[in-house]
């Protein structure tokens, strides 16, 4: 009987440490209360900068953690945040525009779903940025990277559309005024 109890406790502990149910990035369109959101593609996000209003939130209750959009546990002491349209997970530098304080956090949740707000952060982040007492603050959000581990992207990946792609009729610099004879000799 004792080995069964120990095994059950061990399995419960391991399940409690799980990281979430995603691989790569989470950026598919979704809707909340009838409003549709289309997140930015992961390759376009690094280097993106946005200014807006941040608020802070609390996901957990007593000893029970909340769950993020990535399926990760959110504890009272977590330093993370939520954004409606950036791909998840995402590392961002958040700067309080009132006092200049900044910190780097990992976005792993969706929100805030209140008009006029761009970012939700956990209590510890709001304290670091100096707006925990006020509840709201003007902030700058700078995307540093998207993804974790082998999925991490730190530079924007620019896609070339068919209209921007070079074609056979594209003129190339000095060849434009070169006499035909010198072109045939090479």
pLDDT digits (tens, 9 = 90+) for 36-52: 999 999 999 999 999 99
- pTM higher than 0.85 for the full model? no
Tell me whether residue 27 is in a domain: no
Span of 70-79, 98-107, 154-163 with lowest mean pLDDT? 154-163
Tell me whether residue 24 is in a domain: no
Beta-carbon contacts of residue 126 (< 8 Å; ≥ 6 apart): 54, 56, 132, 137
Q: How far is it, in rounded angstroms, from Cα 6 to Cα 36?
A: 46
Range of the domain at 66: 42-158
Tell me whether residue 105 is in a domain: yes
For the chain, the domain total comes to 1
Query: Do 29 and 38 contact (CB within 8 A), yes or no?
Result: yes
Tell me whether residue 120 is in a domain: yes
Q: What is the CATH number of the domain that holds 78?
A: 2.40.40.10
Tell me whether residue 72 is in a domain: yes
Summarised one tens digit per residue, pLDDT across range 77-96 is 678 999 999 999 999 999 99
């Amino acid at each position: 009987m004792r080995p069964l109890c120990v095994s059950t406790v061990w399995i419960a502990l391991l399940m409690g440490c799980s990281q979430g149910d995603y691989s790569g990035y989470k950026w598919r369109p979704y809707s909340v209360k009838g409003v549709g959101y289309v997140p930015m593609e992961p390759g376009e996000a690094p280097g993106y900068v946005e200014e807006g209003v941040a608020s802070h939130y609390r996901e957990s209750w007593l000893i029970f953690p909340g769950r993020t959009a990535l399926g990760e546990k959110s504890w009272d002491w977590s330093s993370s945040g939520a954004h409606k349209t950036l791909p998840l997970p995402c590392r961002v530098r958040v700067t309080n525009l009132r006092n200049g304080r900044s910190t780097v956090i990992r976005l792993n949740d969706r929100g805030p779903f209140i008009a006029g707000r761009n970012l939700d952060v956990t209590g510890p982040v709001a304290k670091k940025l100096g707006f925990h007492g006020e509840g709201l603050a003007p902030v700058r959000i700078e995307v540093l990277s998207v993804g974790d581990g082998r999925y991490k992207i730190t530079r924007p990946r620019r896609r070339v559309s068919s209209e921007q792609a070079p074609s056979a009729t594209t003129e190339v610099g000095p060849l434009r005024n070169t006499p035909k004879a010198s072109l045939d000799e090479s």
